[in-house]
Structure 1
């Protein structure tokens, strides 16, 4: 693991959160860009397991926002979110921001393994995720579109976030959904132009602009909600035998978006369509979408019609995300399948454009 933290540094980080805790064990965990450690700490009466999430060197990575959003979701929903034990936004000697979070039960499954999860297990996970997303979207926390940040005037020096919605902010929020989408499309297609799929970028640019112009012609109908956004098996814990959702992890990239946008990203990434060029893998996006919406209707019936609205633009952007990160995905795929998966992605995008060209 690159950029590891020393035992002395970890002891110092734990003591800022609780001066009576002592570090017993520290094991690095490979989770994305951040430095994450499984810790065993001694308390006054026992030991406990927890996790430490720290900013990577030279990057913010949304760690401070992650702690606040997690606390809000835990306070306002029944979603399985681990409790924040303490957070530190700034420190002269330690790698801040960072926070400690309680350990949760469940199994970690890499997101590219979704294609090999059984139908029954995947359906259960999707339905329960839909329930949690319905509750998430009903939290009245945002009034514009954009990246969900936090109130920087409320600095934490080891304490717990309050879990109140007034701790959240939308950084440089945009009032218009079409305007926000234009900016997001520009960013994503800017990355796409540097990917192995760059020959498709000009066509995607013109198609996306046409679709956004159609959104411009609508009279309202787009309201911001807290969007999970960073969907995939890699950001949840599940009971691998039943599919029961035991934890929703990693809220650093929460966005204020529309319900339909958030649901479409979840349906695409959990549906595993990006792997369907592998012979034994099926595109189960329709099955996953139905299960997501069934769960969603049980907790947010008032938002379900908006959430159920299919827009090909949102599905395309989910595909673009996979394309943009494909070189990170390739080595995790079964040996010899990388080229086939890349070609399958290309064909799926071209098919979507053809089906929705008018």
Structure 2
């Protein structure tokens, strides 16, 4: 994996220049760095003679692209073709001699940032609403006619300087694509299992490798590529934590072209909070989340819903592998790590036995 850099500081003078390059009438009133991932993200308050606005600037921390150009264009495609609440992108600059490119400027959306682990503490009403809305939005995402092969989603449009991207799905493509889903899935699983061998769950890796390979061999197609969010979790949402209403879906830099069932299964596991069921008073709500997500998905796209309805243990296991690989990032109460790890391992072994 690429070494993750530190977010770089952007001077106020540069922030003013970025804002004025997109809209000359806007004045920067206030700027504050936001702690969102490793990119340089700033919340900006701007105003003209008539009104004030809240914006976000998302910029590369080190001059590498980190998927930012594609992320900006993907958000434009989703705003144009779905009702998924993504921020409006006002301007993209892919390359510039003096500014921290690539970067893009977008409008802020309402809602609250909620800790990743909070999903296990949402009551059933809020979690049910979150799951149904997720199902609706994921179904819309999967219906966007943008990709035909499997891999990381990229863009194939012109380079931009201080311009908004277009919303045509045809501008999206797949980098280093694979025609066959099992071929790409083997590559994906190999990368994840290499990471797993360095995780705190490494004792399980050899058994997992054998099981995953056998399950890939047993997959029954045909497989159609769709846009897959894959990076599911409360950390990439803004919402009303009391009701579970999703007000924004943010951070689309890890979008993959995958079968719909793969993306759906990841969402079920990660939004169920099952990986935290080793904590006191936390229940495993996978079945509940699956039914609520299916309800929202089926209401949006009843035909495609049949492709995601049957559970696929292989995809769930790979979602669990992601949690195990990033276990050190979980914010757990002191003294509970062993119990949480034991429960995840037990759940995984139950899958391996099926």
Matched, 1:278 2:282: no
Pairwise CA distance, 1:309: 2.2
Deviations 1:210-235 (A, max 9, x none): 001112xx3x3210001111101111
Pairwise CA distance, 1:106: 1.3
Q: Which residue of 2 aligns with 1:19?
A: 24
> Which consecutive residues of structure 2, in runs of 5 or more, have no partner in the other structure?
1-5
- Partner Cα distance (2:276, 2:63) in 1: 33
Q: Which residue of 2 aligns with 1:206?
A: 210
Pairwise CA distance, 1:44: 4.7
Matched, 1:173 2:188: no
- Partner Cα distance (1:59, 1:84) in 2: 20
- Partner Cα distance (1:255, 1:117) in 2: 28
- Partner Cα distance (1:318, 1:45) in 2: 48
131, 156, 162: which one pairs with 2:160? Answer: 156
Deviations 1:128-153 (A, max 9, x none): 111111111111100001100111x5
- Partner Cα distance (1:318, 1:17) in 2: 39
- Partner Cα distance (2:63, 2:236) in 1: 23
- Partner Cα distance (1:345, 1:4) in 2: 38
Flag the 1:2–1:160 CA change in 2: closer, same or farther, 3 A.
Answer: closer
Q: Which residue of 1 aligns with 2:339?
A: 340
Q: Which residue of 1 aligns with 2:91?
A: 86
Q: Which residue of 2 aligns with 1:76?
A: 81
Q: What SS does the aligned partner of 2:73 have?
A: helix
Q: Which residue of 2 aligns with 1:263?
A: 264
The alignment's TM-score, normalised by the length of structure 1, stands at 0.94
Two-structure CA RMSD over aligned residues (Å): 1.3
Q: Which residue of 1 aligns with 2:40?
A: 35
Matched, 1:114 2:119: yes
Greater CA drift, 256-265 or 54-63: 54-63
- Partner Cα distance (2:235, 2:215) in 1: 31
Q: Which residue of 2 aligns with 1:351?
A: 350
- Partner Cα distance (1:2, 1:180) in 2: 31
Q: Would you say the 8 A contact 1:12–1:94 is kept in 2?
A: no
Flag the 1:163–1:2 CA change in 2: closer, same or farther, 3 A.
Answer: closer
Off by >3 Å, runs of 4+ in structure 1: none
142, 150, 153: which one pairs with 1:145? Answer: 150
Q: Would you say the 8 A contact 1:146–1:172 is kept in 2?
A: yes
116, 129, 132: which one pairs with 2:137? Answer: 132
Q: Would you say the 8 A contact 2:275–2:323 is kept in 1?
A: yes
Greater CA drift, 301-310 or 314-323: 301-310
Q: Would you say the 8 A contact 2:7–2:61 is kept in 1?
A: no
Pairwise CA distance, 1:9: 2.3
Q: Which residue of 2 aligns with 1:249?
A: 250
- Partner Cα distance (1:85, 1:344) in 2: 45
- Partner Cα distance (1:260, 1:128) in 2: 17
Q: Would you say the 8 A contact 1:18–1:158 is kept in 2?
A: no
Pairwise CA distance, 1:269: 0.4
194, 202, 205: which one pairs with 2:198? Answer: 194
- Matched pairs, number: 349
> Which consecutive residues of structure 1, in runs of 5 or more, have no partner in the other structure?
none
Matches within 5 A, 1:58-69: 59-69=64-74
